[in-house]
Structure 1
């Protein structure tokens, strides 16, 4: 939003600080000035401001001036239209709010102007609009835009001679047509609120005026309108017709119902400066029920003791006193009345519909006082403690970072198609969680798995020519419990999950794996490394792998499932070719999806330090041929079952297969197994090593292995 400092100073004639100091002080009070641009000698500066959606009262120059007046304790020039006395009329211009529009139009003001002159804008309107880069149309149209920018309330001017009968605020008729100021024709729905005359709709209320009653150079008589419309009604019409105007932006967020007469008067004053006369008094039709729940809201009680409790210690010794609270709230438009020793009953201003509770007033006091004036202290009633899984989560993150993976964060939403593909219900009565108001079809569910988000991030990198990608994400997935005999989801549970993704344009072969197999086994190694951080009851043997029953999103024969105590822990492998093609991925992608909840149930392994042995280590290699059905897990488990304390290491050094079946028979593989023996209290003897080697050979032979010469 653009704000002119010279316009602000028009409302604050005694403001003495520089424009840059004003920008800093406003920003520290939550009214952010993101840019300060000089406009030349005598023209001040242009502020680029970011106003939060709940502060519709500050989306104008007068609202910002009110904030500055509160900060510096300065008087704020009042908004008083200066209008001539109107000519007398026998009957006022008829304005009616239809019964079906009750509650949708809380106030409608109208003023008749006769014999006006349509001319280019001049004076402060032309000057300020030129500095803002605002398009100028005519004095009548510019007057509405000027008042909107100045005080924030939307208005509209109708060509009075094109109105047949009086004004009727009503709901549209099904299929009713309305041509708008932008030239487009809209087909209205029965819940569209319109401003109409006795025969036709004149404008889409709170959004845009109509073509048939617009101001033209030939216009002589004008009806100036300023009203209050229901935010929800304006929001529906604006979105249905894809019309997002300055007026709808204000009305959707809750306009000031008491601003309508003032805005009407200011617009009328600007139009009459070029000539014309006022006819009759201001027509002001009010819905008392709407007035009661906007401008007439109940008072809020605020206690100075509660202010101190919530805000804590200030840097100044005197702190926040009752006098400061009263002064700040009064300057913001509230009416605090002392009720007891330190309690105020506060009547709320009509332009601050966002103030609803005591804590809102406390926040206003803190904001105006300045967040930078509070001491940095922790609340004593809220001890800072780690959540139960913090240590385990940190260990997993540190291990993945050390393995060369970068942490990423994806969206918490997923499409229904991805959810059905990547989530397999583990128990009856479980299901995905749909959003009541989804942003789009692609984000209609809370994610039941992390893999879809990981694929999106990998694709994002590949589409930007990043070919080497290693990512991981720790996050929550959302599963709901279905309510029997209904389509509704009851309790929603959050479960921690881990997704790992990698892709490489130059895959490297290893002594154990071919270049195409290396990424799959890399993921397998990552899962083994993560499990090694924990202490499962069965030790390392609790982790095993199977290629049976892998999910549909993984390529068959190029994927596997990690089992912890024979229960699925993770699925990993190459993304299915059909999925890769449908997502238009430029190269092969590898994924792992791991259930962190199962890992977090296990205790973290305690890190222990042992004194290094001073005695020589001895290596022994064993070369065996095994059937493909014999897994490394089975081999390692059987050798460790020999319980040789001096065996400090057991590793597979080389795996070899012969596609032709000559050096190694088909359906078999050759394994070079390396063991390291070392004692902490003596030098090992040859006969000991020979005995242990014989036991290892015997164990491998029993597994179906054949020793190679």
Structure 2
């Protein structure tokens, strides 16, 4: 929210500078994003009046003007399209200095002398761009210093409010905060009730009272929309980031900025029968004030008449019923809408308005009547007209409950580390608008209607802390019994796994738990993700059922920014629907693409392949001390390359193999849509499983020699090496200590449908030397089993 410092100081007069004020507000939890001047630095500019305007003798697009500064007449050449006789404008005289140190000098334009310059807002640093000269009010005093006339020695302060502080989305709320911080009096504008002079009443039927517990309407007849909005209001709106449109819209916007109550004005002649506040019917259509036609959903609250929708409640009015230059009679509305009935609706229709911003966060449910009287008085003063009585429809049982909170002295001291005096506590909370009643151990506090964030005792203590000043609270170390947590030996710390991957060249990534629906469906078609009711955006609208979707996007992002070698990993939850419940599964995933090694003088161009990433997985599994309990099994997955994908399985205590992960290369058909032009390898593992470790145990090292046999086996090409190794492990005897594959050969001398595997097997006895016969018997047992089960033969 933007606000004028000058306007704030009309409400409250803290004896602090602009910078000190911004620091105070920030330290109170209302972060100041920036401070900027209302206008650029300039001097020598006065209010001028064009007393005569003629065509330039030698230029079609230039005008020759006679401009008065109240004392003399000056000839000025001007190219603005809106210059005309009788217009009052900012006039920069000879010697004036405009923003950017631009000095006004006597000049000749197309042979005609020009003695000054007529100015637009942009030339004075009051706007980023301008369509023509800045037009001043007809009663602007000619000759007065323009800076003084416009009160431009002012600053615009922009505050970034957290969603819980909707009470500060108005000048009244900000002034209240500043008054409390400085213990200064706050002067609220006097809002006098406007007595009705006509009997016309608005017909109001609230059918959705739970969503709209309070609705007020008032008829104002005979308004003059040709009246000009007063300069003071136009400037306050401009400095609050709102442009002037017409006096009716300006008044409702002014009340929005001043009090925080959104309002709307309908053209009474366009309303059929009266107002009905109801839920929309699915498929109803409404053309909004911005010109777009929307198809309404049945969860949208509407302001309608007896035949058609008029506005999306709390968000935007309809074009048909909006105020126009032909409007003579108005229906003013002010309401309280339940925050839950408005939240997310604007975003669904691609909208974000000042009204929806406030109603979503919560507006004081007691404010509507005051805002109605304030707007009525301003309208009558500016546009004339006759007002009727206010019609109010209220559902008391649907209004928010008033929070009654028990605040204890001892609790304040315990939480803040300091005992605040009773009068200080009472002063702070009373200035914040709360009602206090003393009880034996503290106070019974009633929160005001505009503080939706005050519900429990800690909320009040937080208010005391921020107003008292966080920097004024004592610094002390907490005292608590904190025994060391037990670290189970059979469970790896997540930090160990992270450090292991970092040591292998990966970097940790943290991606959103929300992903794009189509991408999630592609990466994990077996699960239907949970859709968010109120998503941040359309490409973050479902909960992830795996971590790969987010990592793939992160890799793509890096590749598009000239990072050709990417290694990322992530630990986090994936959200998998299981019937009527949602299972949150801790998961580890990583992704790798690019060259095997970083750029160097050696083998720098070799690309990473499936087996490089498989090696990373195996090294991670080896950390568990249970590498032999895992195996890799060929599997098909729609998101992975059909020839380069594998399921990672673990053998359970009962001998059953269970899938605990998957790995493989991203499917080629997905690379182009994701902007990835090189192979990308992905891994996903169940985190809890890979954290399970074997408990370390001591085994005495054998002092006796090892005996090794190398075997060259010929098997069919489709035989998996893992199947061969599993048979060897099962039938080589208990003294087999090591076995490994060191060569695979296909080609000359081998049947084209078969391959040769070279394996090394090592035996060692813990307490004696093995005999050749014992080892030979083990080898024979292995060869016999391999021949029977896999058709393996020794290579000749």
1:137-148 alignment runs, 5 A limit: 137-148=245-256
Structure 1 pair 533/43, CA: closer, same or farther in 2 (3 Å)?
Answer: same
Match of 1:408 in 2: 509
1:98 is the counterpart of 2:205:
yes
Taking the aligned partners of 1:603 and 1:453, their CA distance within structure 2 comes to 32
Structure 1 pair 434/31, CA: closer, same or farther in 2 (3 Å)?
Answer: same
Match of 1:47 in 2: 157
- Over the residues paired in the alignment, what is the CA RMSD in angstroms? 4.7
Structure 1 pair 401/240, CA: closer, same or farther in 2 (3 Å)?
Answer: closer
Q: What's the secondary structure of 2:203's corresponding residue?
A: strand
1:307 is the counterpart of 2:403:
no
Taking the aligned partners of 1:642 and 1:166, their CA distance within structure 2 comes to 94
1:227-626 alignment runs, 5 A limit: 227-235=335-343, 238=346, 241-274=349-382, 276=384, 279=387, 282-289=389-396, 293-294=399-400, 297=402, 299-309=404-414, 311-314=415-418, 319-338=419-438, 340-372=439-471, 373=473, 375=475, 377-378=477-478, 380=480, 385=485, 391-413=492-514, 434-435=530-531, 437=533, 439=535, 446-482=543-579, 489-490=580-581, 492-504=582-594, 519-536=609-626, 540-547=627-634, 549=635, 551=637, 553-565=639-651, 567-568=657-658, 569-580=660-671, 585-603=676-694, 625-626=712-713
Structure 1 pair 603/113, CA: closer, same or farther in 2 (3 Å)?
Answer: farther
TM-score (norm 2): 0.69
Structure 1 pair 627/561, CA: closer, same or farther in 2 (3 Å)?
Answer: farther
Deviates more, 1:347-356 or 1:582-591: 582-591
1:173-192 alignment runs, 5 A limit: 180-184=288-292
Structure 1 pair 598/229, CA: closer, same or farther in 2 (3 Å)?
Answer: closer
Taking the aligned partners of 1:555 and 1:198, their CA distance within structure 2 comes to 60
Structure 1 pair 336/96, CA: closer, same or farther in 2 (3 Å)?
Answer: farther
Cα deviation per residue 1:642-680 (whole Å; 9 max; x = unaligned)?
859xx9x9877x635353347x99734464969999x9x
Contact 1:419 1:447 in 2 (8 A): yes
Gaps of 5+ in 1: 426-430, 483-488, 680-687
Match of 1:486 in 2: none
Cα deviation per residue 1:374-414 (whole Å; 9 max; x = unaligned)?
53544737878588798521211111110111112233346
Taking the aligned partners of 1:190 and 1:532, their CA distance within structure 2 comes to 56
Q: What's the secondary structure of 1:361's corresponding residue?
A: helix
Match of 1:152 in 2: 260
The structure in which a higher percent of residues are helix is 1
Shift of 1:9: 1.2
1:208 is the counterpart of 2:316:
yes
1:659 is the counterpart of 2:744:
no
Deviates more, 1:463-472 or 1:623-632: 623-632
Taking the aligned partners of 2:171 and 2:221, their CA distance within structure 1 comes to 27
Aligned counterpart for 1:66 among listed residues 137, 158, 176: 176
Shift of 1:324: 2.9
Contact 1:550 1:571 in 2 (8 A): no
Aligned counterpart for 1:627 among listed residues 701, 710, 714: 714
Contact 1:574 1:589 in 2 (8 A): yes
Cα deviation per residue 1:534-575 (whole Å; 9 max; x = unaligned)?
234xxx54344444x465544444344444436344433333
Taking the aligned partners of 2:688 and 2:615, their CA distance within structure 1 comes to 20
Gaps of 5+ in 2: 42-151, 784-791
Match of 1:10 in 2: 10
Q: What's the secondary structure of 2:679's corresponding residue?
A: coil
Deviates more, 1:110-119 or 1:150-159: 110-119
Contact 1:203 1:210 in 2 (8 A): yes
Taking the aligned partners of 2:380 and 2:758, their CA distance within structure 1 comes to 98
Contact 1:118 1:140 in 2 (8 A): no
Shift of 1:277: 6.1
Q: What's the secondary structure of 2:375's corresponding residue?
A: helix
Shift of 1:275: 6.2
Taking the aligned partners of 1:634 and 1:203, their CA distance within structure 2 comes to 72
Deviates more, 1:377-386 or 1:631-640: 631-640
Deviates more, 1:15-24 or 1:320-329: 320-329
Match of 1:38 in 2: 37
TM-score (norm 1): 0.76
Deviates more, 1:348-357 or 1:96-105: 96-105
Contact 1:701 1:707 in 2 (8 A): no
Taking the aligned partners of 1:555 and 1:196, their CA distance within structure 2 comes to 56
Taking the aligned partners of 1:554 and 1:184, their CA distance within structure 2 comes to 43
